[in-house]
């Protein structure tokens, strides 16, 4: 990086900041040339000041304080509304380490590009320095980072999504590894130039340097493009750190289930985006006596504990959830969570100063201001809220948050669930025959595309471990790490059992067969019974499925004919399924682990045996 002379107006560098952090920030200050530098302490007073400044700038619109206390609406630039997978790069030293699912550019070439983009990029703006912890401060699996940004919206969001501020900075000592995160909206201001409500740049880069643990983001102020602690650190860089250190970064929710007898189990579950992760993490059981509590709705870090059993933490401190489709009928817990102290982005504004989005209520209001700031009625051609509109809120506000969600040692993982959005073939639930079979389930996980992912809606997309856009390494190496971590857990006394679910199978009438939501407790009940060696099963191409009578489907509102349809097998369709999985694995070349190939062969044999 070429250094130019520049002296910002103020620098409030904390006295206890590690010299390495200070030197890195000083280098960025000299290059990006902000007018001011603010080191964030994460205090409530700091947050109030940020909000007041953004309200004055028009970036945040205060909502009706009686309806939605201390909550605000942000409207992004229409060109900056979602993560940009096509502009996301893994700049590993070797192209083969990025694998076929990632965009790769040689590190030296990308650094040269970023050097030019960042030069003077923060002129006229404030650089905020945000030390943050991923996980409970001081925990054995917690990792630390420092992000600089010139977006107060990103500061506010990072303060919600991480443990950001002085406590995190105090943990970064001379021997502490920390991830360097540099972000700019790429919109410098000339003296006297009027700022815009949502500064960004049409040029966008979200870049990762795995070996040096760096993330550089340019041009976007939206979501995971700019909140670098989220997908960029917690999954892409963390998957490489875990590869080196022997643990797993997983795109998985984390929940606690308590049976009527008081037995407690913790479950990690991986679903591709927009497949009901948050709904599942906040499940409200319909069966009396059962209790489900939330530890996290998106990301889990899973590592061997002192006894060899796998433990997990939620590295995040908040929820960055998709608003459309969330309502009282689908997720009352999420609705309660965002009743106050919430930042909404790209939702619609009601005439009485509240927010609305598609799916919040059965019928839309007669008039709204849409996410672009235009008048909207039910006759409008476009939705009132952007399909990827979001809410950002502290996890501590969740009514079902578990009392052990911030346990520094993490919680023991008893079961792992994979699930996608599949209209056919995949049964409601199946148990893997072994850890290796479970890894095969994860490696070949598929889902129909939704608005949250690039591509044609409805098209089948293989999304291994729900990590396709989020792995910072060769995907087959990620599978190998899952095999290794599971083998070590089994040698130490037992690995979690693995299951696959499909809430989205459709009948011949094109409608969903399984009611889902709170009725999913029936499936969870059977899964927990299987952990104890109970619950009758039958074998099939996908693993062990519930035997007749093992799940009280009548109680869930599903009759015998519909239940049979949830597990129906069509040999020709399954042969096509296996062929698709084989072609998918072939794309990863020689790195595909032998046990994964062996499980595919076993699946094909079981399909061939069908009548």
Question: Which residues are identified as catalytic?
Answer: 275
Question: Could you tell me which residues come within 8 angstroms of residue 217 by beta carbon, excluding any fewer than 6 positions away?
Answer: 181, 182, 183, 184, 205, 206, 207, 225, 226, 228, 232
- Count, residues in the chain: 611
CA 604 – CA 611 distance, rounded (Å): 14
Please tell me the distance from the alpha carbon of residue 546 to that of residue 524, in angstroms, as a whole number: 12
Residue located via tokens 């309502």? 327
Residue 207 to residues 43, 181, 429: CA-CA distances in angstroms? 30, 10, 38
Residue 437 contacts residue 428 (beta carbons within 8 Å): no
Of 552, 292, 539, nearest to 402 by C-alpha is 292
Q: What's the CA gap between 51 and 45, in Å, rounded?
A: 10
Angle between helices 594-608 and 571-586 (to 10 degrees): 160
What is d(CA 548, CA 218) in angstroms, rounded to the nearest whole number? 55
Instruction: List helix spans (H) across 41-106.
Output: 44-57, 95-98
Judged by DSSP in three states, 349 sits in: strand
Question: Residue 530 and residue 534: Cα distance in Å, rounded?
Answer: 5
Report the alpha-carbon distance of residue 496 to residue 118 in Å, rounded: 45
Q: Which residues, at least 6 apart from 292, have a Cβ–Cβ distance to it below 8 Å?
A: 255, 256, 257, 258, 282, 283, 284, 285, 400, 521, 524
| 3-class secondary structure, 483 | helix
- The span from the CA of 280 to the CA of 294, in Å, is 9
Cα–chain center distance at 44: 26
Q: Packing angle between helix 107-118 and helix 19-32, nearest 10 degrees?
A: 60
Say how far residue 139 (Cα) sits from the centre of its chain: 21
The conformational region for residue 289 under phi > 0 = left, psi -120 to 50 = alpha, else beta, is left
| Helix or strand run (H / E) with residue 61 | strand 61-62
């Amino acid at each position: 990086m070429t250094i130019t002379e520049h002296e910002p107006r103020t620098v409030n560098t904390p006295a206890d900041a590690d010299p390495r952090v200070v030197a890195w920030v000083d280098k960025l200050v000299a290059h990006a040339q902000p007018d001011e530098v603010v080191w964030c302490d994460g205090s409530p007073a700091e947050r109030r000041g940020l909000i007041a400044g953004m309200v004055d700038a028009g970036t945040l619109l205060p909502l009706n304080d009686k309806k939605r206390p201390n909550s605000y609406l942000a409207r992004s630039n229409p060109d900056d509304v979602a993560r940009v997978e096509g502009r996301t790069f893994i700049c590993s030293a070797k192209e083969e380490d990025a694998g076929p699912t990632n965009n790769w550019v040689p590190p030296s070439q990308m650094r040269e590009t970023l050097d030019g983009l960042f030069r003077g990029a923060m002129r006229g703006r404030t650089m905020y320095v945000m030390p943050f912890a991923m996980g409970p401060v001081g925990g054995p699996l917690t990792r630390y980072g420092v992000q600089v940004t010139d977006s107060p919206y990103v500061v506010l969001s990072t303060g919600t999504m991480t443990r950001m501020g002085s406590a995190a900075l105090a943990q970064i000592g001379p021997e502490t590894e920390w991830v360097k995160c540099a972000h700019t909206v790429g919109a410098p201001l000339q003296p006297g130039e009027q700022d815009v409500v949502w500064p960004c740049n049409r040029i966008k880069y979200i870049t990762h340097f795995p070996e040096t643990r760096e993330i550089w983001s340019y041009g976007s102020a939206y979501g995971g493009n700019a909140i670098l602690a989220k997908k960029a650190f917690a999954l892409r860089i963390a998957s490489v750190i875990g590869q080196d250190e022997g643990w797993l970064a997983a795109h998985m929710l984390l929940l606690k289930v308590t049976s009527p007898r008081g037995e407690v189990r913790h479950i990690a579950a991986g679903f591709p985006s927009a497949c009901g992760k948050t709904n599942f993490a906040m499940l409200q059981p319909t069966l009396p006596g059962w209790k489900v509590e939330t530890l996290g709705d998106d990301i889990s870090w899973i590592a061997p504990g002192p006894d060899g059993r796998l433990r997990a933490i939620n590295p995040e401190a908040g929820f960055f959830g998709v608003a459309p489709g969330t309502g009282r009928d689908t997720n009352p817990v999420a609705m309660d969570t965002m009743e106050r102290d919430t930042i909404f982005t790209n939702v619609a504004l009601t005439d009485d100063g509240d927010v609305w989005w598609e799916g919040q209520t059965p019928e839309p209001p007669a008039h709204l201001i849409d996410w672009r700031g235009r008048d909207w009625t039910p006759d409008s051609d476009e939705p009132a809220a952007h399909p990827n509109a979001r809410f950002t809120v502290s996890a501590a506000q969740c009514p079902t948050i578990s009392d052990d969600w911030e346990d520094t040692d993490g919680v023991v993982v008893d079961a792992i669930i994979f699930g996608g959005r599949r209209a056919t073939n995949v049964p409601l639930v199946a148990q893997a025959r072994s850890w290796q079979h479970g890894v095969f389930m994860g490696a070949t996980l598929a889902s129909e595309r939704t608005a949250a992912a690039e591509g044609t809606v409805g098209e089948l997309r293989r999304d291994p471990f729900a990590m396709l856009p989020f792995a910072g390494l060769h995907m087959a190496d990620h599978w190998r790490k899952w095999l290794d971590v599971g083998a070590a857990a089994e040698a130490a006394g037992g690995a979690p059992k693995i299951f696959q679910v499909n809430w989205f199978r459709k009948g011949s009438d094109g409608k969903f067969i399984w009611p889902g939501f709170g009725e999913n407790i029936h499936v969870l009940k059977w899964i927990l019974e299987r952990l104890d060696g109970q619950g009758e099963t039958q074998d099939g191409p996908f693993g062990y499925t519930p035997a007749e009578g093992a799940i009280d489907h009548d109680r869930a509102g599903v009759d015998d004919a519909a239940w049979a349809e949830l597990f129906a097998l069509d040999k020709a369709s399954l042969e096509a399924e296996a062929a698709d999985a084989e072609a998918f694995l072939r794309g990863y070349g020689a790195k595909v682990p032998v046990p994964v190939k062996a499980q595919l062969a076993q699946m094909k044999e079981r399909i061939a045996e069908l009548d």
